[in-house]
């Protein structure tokens, strides 16, 4: 498996590369960036640790490195300002994104490549990639609410003193203000979350609110997300590389599940070597379903305004 990271010189791309190196699963990590010195420096820094970590090939360069990549992960983009909503970013990011898709089209890409979008607003740019590239829709996925989900699980675990890996609650919908935490099926180690010691409706509401504001909080305090988003990206890439068919909250084109269609958004999705292989529809609380459909509506309106307008 060769993974190229477009924007690999930046914070998100370099943290993803480091997580992939420690993951020891993919064969080659290619960092692509317009900032040549920066990307060469990142690749060199990763390479310096190779004898301690893994035998992967690590290279840096221009768009041509994506030509034979099995997974093209796009993290190039402009960062969100603390007071800016993710959707406001689209106006600054669409032109940049179109130009790097243009570079990719020029150099070419594998017919079975998975294009994995991380740049924000991730759901809208995932939809744009699907429109612009000549690939089946299932081969184009976005990070969606994978990062939001680990933030929610990890912070809730800390509050109730449970192991983060045993907290099972997932966020779906937009990677943005209208994200929807699905509490109807939440568990800790297989036990119903609401019966777990220390869990109260007020605590749940507080952690959910903190999760919603996490992106902005991290940007304000350290400039942008790095470690957690890098780990999230590596988790999805490993599910693809190993054809794990895990159910993950990635963003992909919808065609009817939960009443959503013609929009890229996160719902329970089977992720494997062919990308977003299918969507799983389960019963939600009516208020969760309504919120998920509203989230889809928010994204649809943005797509209509920005991409079709």
Ligand X SMILES: NC(=O)C1=CN([C@@H]2O[C@H](COP(=O)(O)OP(=O)(O)OC[C@H]3O[C@@H](n4cnc5c(N)ncnc54)[C@H](O)[C@@H]3O)[C@@H](O)[C@H]2O)C=CC1
**What are the binding residues?**
7-13, 33, 80, 86, 93, 118-120, 151
Q: How many alpha carbons fall within 13 Å on the CB side of residue 299?
A: 35
Decide if residue 11 touches ligand X (CB under 6 A). yes
Q: How far is the CB of 228 from ligand PYR (least distance, A)?
A: 8
Decide if residue 34 touches ligand X (CB under 6 A). yes
User: Binding mask 130-169 vs ligand X (x if CB under 6 A, - otherwise)?
Assistant: -------------x---x----------------------
Q: Which residues pair with 72 in a beta bridge?
A: 4, 115
State which residue has the least CB distance to ligand PYR: 215
The verdict on whether 175 is a catalytic residue reads: yes
Residue closer to ligand PYR, measured from CB, 68 or 88:
88
Q: How far apart are CA 168 and CA 165, in angstroms?
A: 8
DSSP E strand stretches across the chain: 2-6, 28-32, 57-61, 71-74, 114-117, 140-142, 167-172, 180-188, 191-192, 246-248, 251-255, 261-266, 269-272, 275-279
Q: Is 26 helix (H, G, I), strand (E, B) or coil?
A: coil
Residue closer to ligand PYR, measured from CB, 68 or 84:
84
Span 73-132, contacts to ligand X by CB under 6 A:
75-80, 96, 99-100, 118-120, 122
**With contact defined as beta carbons under 8 Å apart, do 172 and 254 qualify?**
no
State which residue has the least CB distance to ligand X: 10
**Which two structure tokens, joined as six digits, stand for 100?**
């790097």
**With contact defined as beta carbons under 8 Å apart, do 302 and 124 qualify?**
yes
Decide if residue 6 touches ligand X (CB under 6 A). yes
Residue 218 site contact among ligand PYR, ligand X, none (CB < 5 to 8 Å, cut-off depends on kind): ligand PYR
Annotated binding site for substrate: 80, 86, 120, 151
Residue among 35, 154, 293, 297 that touches ligand X (CB under 6 A): 35
The secondary structure of 160-181 as a DSSP string is HT--GGGEEEEEEB-SSTT-EE
Q: How far apart are CA 197 and CA 21, in angstroms?
A: 38
Decide if residue 46 touches ligand X (CB under 6 A). no
Of 106, 69, 96, 114, nearest to 236 by C-alpha is 114
Q: How far apart are CA 35 and CA 29, in angstroms?
A: 17
Backbone phi, psi, residue 180, to 5°: -125, 115
Residue 9 site contact among ligand X, ligand PYR, none (CB < 5 to 8 Å, cut-off depends on kind): ligand X
User: Binding mask 252-271 vs ligand X (x if CB under 6 A, - otherwise)?
Assistant: --------------------
Count of other CB atoms within 10 angstroms of residue 304: 10
**With contact defined as beta carbons under 8 Å apart, do 268 and 171 qualify?**
no
Residue 12 site contact among ligand X, ligand PYR, none (CB < 5 to 8 Å, cut-off depends on kind): ligand X
Residue 26 site contact among ligand X, ligand PYR, none (CB < 5 to 8 Å, cut-off depends on kind): none
Q: Which residues of the shown chain bind ligand PYR in the complex (CB under 6 A)?
A: 80, 86, 120, 147, 215, 218, 225
Residue 77 site contact among ligand X, ligand PYR, none (CB < 5 to 8 Å, cut-off depends on kind): ligand X
Q: How far apart are CA 246 and CA 68, in angstroms?
A: 25
Residue 272 site contact among ligand PYR, ligand X, none (CB < 5 to 8 Å, cut-off depends on kind): none
Span 203-222, contacts to ligand X by CB under 6 A:
none
Binding residues for ligand X (CB under 6 A)? 6-7, 9-13, 32-35, 38, 75-80, 96, 99-100, 118-120, 122, 143, 147, 175, 224-225, 229
Could you give the residue numbers annotated as active site? 175
């Amino acid at each position: 498996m060769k993974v190229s990271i477009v924007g690999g010189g930046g914070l998100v791309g370099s943290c993803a590369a480091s997580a992939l190196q420690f993951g020891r699963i993919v064969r080659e990590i290619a960092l692509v960036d317009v900032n040549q010195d920066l990307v060469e420096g990142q690749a060199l820094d990763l390479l310096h640790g190779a004898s301690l970590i893994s035998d992967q090939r690590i290279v840096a360069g221009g768009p041509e490195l994506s030509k034979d990549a099995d997974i093209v992960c796009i993290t190039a983009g402009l960062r969100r300002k603390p007071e800016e909503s993710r959707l406001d970013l689209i106006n600054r990011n669409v032109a940049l994104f179109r130009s790097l898709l243009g570079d990719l089209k020029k150099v070419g890409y594998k017919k079975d490549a998975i294009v994995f979008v991380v740049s924000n607003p991730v759901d809208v740019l995932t939809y744009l990639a699907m429109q612009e590239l000549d690939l089946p829709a299932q081969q184009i996925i976005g990070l969606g609410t994978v990062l939001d989900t680990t933030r929610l699980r990890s912070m809730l675990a800390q509050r109730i003193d449970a192991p983060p890996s045993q907290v099972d609650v997932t966020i779906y919908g937009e990677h943005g203000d209208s994200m929807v935490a699905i509490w109807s099926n939440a568990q800790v180690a297989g036990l119903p979350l609401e019966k777990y010691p220390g869990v109260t409706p007020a605590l749940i509401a507080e952690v959910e609110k903190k999760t919603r504001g996490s992106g902005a909080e991290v940007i304000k305090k350290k400039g942008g997300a790095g470690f957690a988003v890098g780990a999230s990206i590596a988790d999805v890439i490993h599910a693809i590389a190993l054809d794990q068919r895990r159910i993950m909250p990635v963003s992909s084109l919808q065609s009817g599940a939960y009443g959503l269609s013609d929009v890229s958004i996160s719902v329970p999705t089977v992720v494997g070597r062919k990308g977003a292989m299918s969507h799983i529809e389960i019963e939600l609380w009516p208020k969760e379903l309504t919120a998920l459909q509203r989230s889809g509506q928010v994204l649809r309106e943005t797509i209509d305004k920005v991409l079709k307008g």
